[in-house]
Amino acid sequence: MQRPYKNICPRCGKERIVVRVWVEKSENSTIENTETACPDKKCQEASERDISKQRNKRLQMEKRKRDSIRNRGSHVHKSISLVK
Contact predicate 20/35, CB 8 Å: yes
Q: Which is nearer to Zn ion, 53 or 63 (CB)?
A: 53
Nearest approach in angstroms of CB 34 to Zn ion is: 16
Task: Report which DSSP code applies to 11.
Answer: T
Compute the distance between CA of residue 43 and CA of residue 47 in angstroms, rounded to an integer: 6
Compute the distance between CA of residue 72 and CA of residue 60 in angstroms, rounded to an integer: 18
Q: Which is nearer to Zn ion, 17 or 76 (CB)?
A: 17
| Using rule CB under 5 A, residue 12 touches Zn ion | yes
**Binding mask 29-58 vs Zn ion (x if CB under 5 A, - otherwise)?**
---------x-x--x---------------
